[in-house]
Every structure is written in structure tokens, then in C-alpha cells.
Chain A
Amino acid sequence: MTESLAISKFSDLANPTRFLALAARLLPFMAAVTAILFAVGLYLSFATEGDYQQGMTVRIMYVHVPAAWLSMMCYTVMAVSAIGTLVWRHPLADVSHKAAAPLGAAFTLIALATGSLWGRPMWGTWWVWDARLTSVFVLFLMYLGLIALNRAMDDPSRAARVSAVLILVGFVNIPIIKFSVDWWNTLHQPASVIRMGGPTIDQEFLWPLLIMAIAFTLLFFTLHVMAMRNEIWRRRVAAQRRMAARLAGRESGSEA
């Protein structure tokens, strides 16, 4: 009984019209909380002390690490949506992974750029082809490939199915990124927050990092809901234009 209720609640939410109504209610709240968290996070990022070895460059961590986390979380959200497309053939799942791809590409770009800007003063080089940096660069290329694939096909449901297969095949890269620093000898440091045995990072840096990470995550979900709403509207515009063209064709046929 409770299971069927949960399924019916989920399918209610999965209805695009209900999703639009829910998005309209949630978005102002999500945007406000994101802005507040960013204000607090940025204040703490610049109020905390520097690291005894890295000095003030440790502040780069507060944008680099959340962006890198999000680049992987966004792909995981896309992989879950891809399962929704292939197993349940749900149009909202199609919309979800299509809308998330540009967001994932943007956060991966931030992670790559800020990592490069951190690497130069700390490692003495902008870039090195080690396992972590290369696997994240491959992730960035995969996002670009998925955006291009979605734009290359006219039929959205066919594009969604092809993209979904590609997303699930590409998901193999996510554990490679996460464990690359353990499996291979890399210039990039190993995990210091999400690891067995708890974080090894000092409390001084942990709080601003966590608040910035929550702010980035909420920003992603806010933008994802907005982009999904835009995609639903885009599909409605296309469907209504097709309907108008059919009606115009029928009217001109009956006149003749």
C-alpha cells in the first residue's frame, strides 16, 4: 500500500505539467538559500587563515574542490536520468540529462581552470598529464560530446536514447577519476575530505569548504530545475508549432 502510494507520488512529480508547477514554487526558495550560502561561504573563505605550507593559495580550494565534486555529481545525476530514459522511457528523464550536460561542462571547466591556477604556484606547472587531470579532461570532452550529440539530432526522444547509452558507457570514468589518485602515482594529492577514516583536513579549512560545497550543489540543482523547465517549454513550443502547421495545412486543403 505504502509502496504504491510512493510510486504514485513519484509518477505525479514525473508529470511535466506538475513538475513545472512544483518548479515555480521551489525556484525562488532554492535561489535565495543558494545566494545566502554563497555569501556565508565566500565570507568564511576570505576570513580564514592561510595554510602553513601553501599560504593564501589554499583559498583556491574553496572554489576548485566544490566544482570538481559537482563535475562528478552532475554526471552521476545524468547517469541516473539515463537509466530513467532507457528503463522507464520517461520524457522527464530525457529532459533531465539533456539539461544537466551544459551545467556539468561548466563546472568541469571551473575545476580544470582553477586547478591549473593552483598548480602553477604549488607544483610549478600549469598542467601535467597525470591520471587525475587527464581523466577530468576526458570528462570535460564527454560533456561536450553529449551536448553536440543532443544538438545534432532533431528527434528529441531518439537523441535521448542514444545519449543515455553513451552516458552509461561513459560512467566508467567517474570511479576512475575518484580513485585515480590511489591507483596511480599522481602529482595531484589523494582525497582528504571524503575518505575512509574521516577527513584529514584542518577544521579551519573544513567549514568554509563544506559551506561552499553545499552552495555549489544547491546552485547546480537550482540551475538544473531551471534548465529542465526551459527544455520542457522548448518542446512545447516545437509541438505547438507543428500543430499550427498541420492546422494551417488542413485549412488550406479544405479551401482548395
Chain B
Amino acid sequence: MTTPTTVTRAEYCVIACAEAWRGDGEVLASPMGTIPSVAARLAKLTFAPELLLTDGEALLIGDVPAVGARSAVTEGWLPYRRHLTMVMGGRRHVMMGASQIDRFGNQNISCVGDWRRPSRQLLGARGAPANTLNNPVSYWVPRHSPRVFVERVDMICGVGYDSAAAAGPSATRFHELRRVVSDLGVFDFATPDHAMRLVSVHPGVTADDIREATGFPLAVPDEVPPTREPTADELRLIRDVVDPSGLREREVRTA
């Protein structure tokens, strides 16, 4: 097999997001955003068949329909009250978005500016505080920029490593940030002080590009590998089965 030369940036992002759920076993994959949704489905169809998926509302689905398509098989019932209970029980790995994220993984989806009178009101804290204290959390950022990767977030919704440590053992007990995927690369917190580290760069991106687009000092190892290539079968599944209408390309456009 030759390496496909036409893999788009969005497809590298799908692969990088899917990898977040590798080895998770029988837990709910909760993707927020288009590319994480494509990725969770791809993971379930390939290397993580035990994953649970929802229809985006109250049902656990027993099939793997294309993103945006209706499920034909229901395998469980997960209304919000049971979903929140599941979060607290930890059998879930969520990939959330982030309007801001800092080097220790503190995340903000609430508002930009002074909380008392924000310059830009966003969603609110939603379930980010509960998610980060109870089940593994990853993040997806479709447009990597210094406005998202900031020195300090304006409102800590998702709890980062430094904040959890400062809050004590009840906060750190189940706290685990797995990875951050952006349109430029993949990151984790596997450093002595849990500061964000560059893990791989998507083909076509350099470590310097990422440093420039990041508003805090990023840990960058001497050798940074490229994000892995999709297999031919993965590409087929992405293009023909999971996202035949190409929604992924609207979330991350190929330059």
C-alpha cells in the first residue's frame, strides 16, 4: 500500500481525534463538534468497537450511521439526568470544544472578558466542571490561534491540572486530561508539571507554526513526529461511510 497523497487536513484531524478513544473499552464516547463526531464513529468501526455512542440526544445507538443521519438501532436510554449520572460515574470520555485553553488545560466556554460584564458572552460553564473532575476529557480546537491557546483563560470551566492540584485530592482523584487536538497538531500533558506538550504535527505544519499560533510557551520535544497517516480502510470509512457529505471539510478547510 502506498501512502495516500490526497489526505486532507480535516482527515488528519479525524485520525488524531479518533486516537483519543483508543483503548478506552466500554465507555461512552462523547464528541462535541463535527470532526470529533466523525472520529468517534471511525474509532468504533475500527480499533474501539466497544465504545458507546449517542444519537446526540437521549438514545444510545446500536449502529454507526453517518454523521447527521438517523440511527436505526437503539441499544440504550440516556436522557440528561442519566447522562449526568454517567459522567459522575466516570464511564465516559468526552471531547469538548474550547473557546480558550491554557497550558495546564484549563478551558473556557462561558464568556470572554470580565465575568461580571463580559465582552462576549458564550454558552456558560455547561457540564465542563463536572466532566473534568469525573471522567477523562480531551479537547478539540478547529482553529488553532493565540486567541484560543491563551496564557490564562477568563473563566475556568474545564479544570486544568494546576487548578485541580490546588483544589486538593477530591479534585484530582478522577481528573485526567488525555489530549488536545487542533487543526495544526496533537498535544498532551505528559510533562513533569503537566504543562501542555506537542505530541505530533499534522503533515504540512511545522513546530514553529504551532509555537507562533500558541499564546503560551509550549513544551516541544527535539523530535516531533507527524500525525499518523490514515490507513486505506480508514480513509474509505471516513469518506464513504461516516461522512459521505464531507461535513469535516467545512469544519477544517484545506488551505
Chains A and B form a bound pair: no
